[in-house]
Amino acid sequence: MAQPSDRFYTKEHEWVKIDGKNAIVGITDYAQSSLGDIVYVELPKPGAALERSKPIGVVESVKAVSDIYAPVAGTVTEINAAVEDDPAKVNGDPFGDGWLVKLSGVDAADTTGLLDAAAYEELVKSL
């Protein structure tokens, strides 16, 4: 699956789509594919202040448990409750219906060090 070019990526396989001071965070297609069937997702509570590069939750699959890291700092405004109820949504559409959290108070300059779609694609090819 091609990486959407309207977002940034981490080396830990999270993505962030920034819109002004707001953002949406999820895990990449590569991450969900590597994990296999996702059976459980633990997300932060709305109102939680997230620090860049710090764990914000957990994704559990039939193969492994993996931490989710914040690609940018911000305050959680919404979690994707549908993913908590049906974690397979992350496998089915990681860049769409499988998003994890929405943030406010995001600083667009906080993307320094994140990868664009082309750089992330190169990273995935090297794995």
Reported as a pLDDT band with limits 50, 70 and 90, residue 2 is confident
Q: What is the pLDDT of residue 108?
A: 86
What would the mean pLDDT of 103-116 be, rounded to a whole number? 94
Phi, psi of 10 (to 5 degrees): -105, 160
Are 9 and 15 in contact, with CB atoms under 8 Å apart?
Answer: yes
Maximum CA pair distance of the chain?
37
Are 83 and 90 in contact, with CB atoms under 8 Å apart?
Answer: yes
pLDDT tens digit string along 62-102?
999 999 999 999 999 999 999 999 999 999 999 999 999 99
Question: Which percentage of the chain shows pLDDT scores above 70?
Answer: 99
Are 18 and 112 in contact, with CB atoms under 8 Å apart?
Answer: no
Q: Is the pLDDT of residue 1 over 80?
A: no
For residue 2, with 0-12 CB atoms within 10 Å meaning exposed, 13-18 middle and 19 or more buried, which class applies?
A: exposed
SS3 sequence of the chain: CCCCCCCEECCCCEEEEEECCEEEEEECHHHHHHHCCEEEEECCCCCCEECCCCEEEEEEECCCEEEEECCCCEEEEEECHHHHHCCHHHHHCCCCCCCCEEEECCCHHHHCCCECHHHHHHHHHCC
Q: What is the pLDDT of residue 65?
A: 95
For the chain, list the domains and their CATH numbers. Answer: 8-104 (2.40.50.100)
pTM (two decimals): 0.96
Structure token digits, residue 35:
């994990």
